[in-house]
Amino acid sequence: MPTSSIPLWPCQVVHEGERVNHAEGIVAEGIFTPSSQASQITTAPHFQKTPTDVVVRFSNATGVPQIHDASGEAFPKGMAIRFLLEDGDETDMVLLSVNRFPVSTPEKFLELLTAIKASRDSDATPSPIARFLENNPSAKRFVELDKPAPESFTTQNYHGLNALIFTNADGERVYGRYLVEPVNGSQFLDRDARESAAPDYLSTELKSRLEQGKAVMTISLQIASEDDIKNDPTVVWPEERQIIELGTLEIQNIMDNGAEYAKNTLFNPLALTDGISASDDPVLLARPTAYALSFQKRAD
């Protein structure tokens, strides 16, 4: 399948009633069990001793609902986790299969989308998107990332791109970014398998995998140092930063009414709970508004 260097961003293709981005997806259910370390980082209820039921949605990038799972244009993959808390409340994680965002502000992201849209019918050389990428190195690095096709939605890493603030019972605060990893390591298709993969092989594979057992992933937190930049999702923190395992995610079954659930659900990275608060990352603060607009349009 093609692995184009510039992805099909949401503004290029609009499908009525579908998500503007990450339209193609599948919903599963499972359980999260916190580690003994988690409560030392935060007072958040799902990171204490009791397991929590979860809903997990995996997805392809773009607003194209039938995009080929192995296409480079379906990169990055998305993962949203909803924790169903004991008091009836909910809290969400929204993650991507990359460790960075192309730009550092909502305004720059709008410029990126505008440049892609303008390039669609432009004969200019260089094109508007080529000019944007040359003037914005972080976006250029993003679109030049490798775009591997995973063997399964559950055989690759997912990253929380925005820093959050975690507070424990002693009032100690740390900045951290989520990291979700398969317990057996990342596994991707080779070139031949990618070329022969069925368009919806990831959904088919996940259904088959869960019929035979559960898929297990760990949820961890990368802790920022005092000098790390915490409000810019284009900045990747060094690998040597401390990683705290927060717990184990067991994905157990496909949700029966998953398509309806996804259509009626807004996963919100700022749907936070006690013990976790937002950083001043402008991209993080803008995300719920953008998601709400998309939700309203597909619900109309």
pLDDT beyond 70 at 189: yes
Beta strand spans in 35-172 (E) = 52-59, 78-84, 90-96, 158-159, 164-167
16-31 pLDDT, tens digit each: 656 567 778 999 999 9
Is the predicted pLDDT of residue 10 greater than 50, yes or no? no
For 109-168, the pLDDT digits (tens) are 999 989 988 888 888 899 999 999 999 999 999 999 999 999 999 999 999 999 999 999
pLDDT band at 11 (very low <50, low <70, confident <90, very high): very low
Q: What's the rounded Cα separation, in Å, for the pair 121 and 128?
A: 10
Poorest-pLDDT segment among 35-49, 54-68, 220-234: 54-68
Q: Tell me the mean pLDDT in the region 93-111.
A: 95
Q: Is the pLDDT of residue 4 over 70?
A: no
pLDDT at residue 116, rounded to an integer? 87
Q: Does 207 have pLDDT greater than 90?
A: yes
DSSP character for 253? E
pTM for this structure?
Answer: 0.92
Percentage of the chain lying above the pLDDT 70 cut: 89
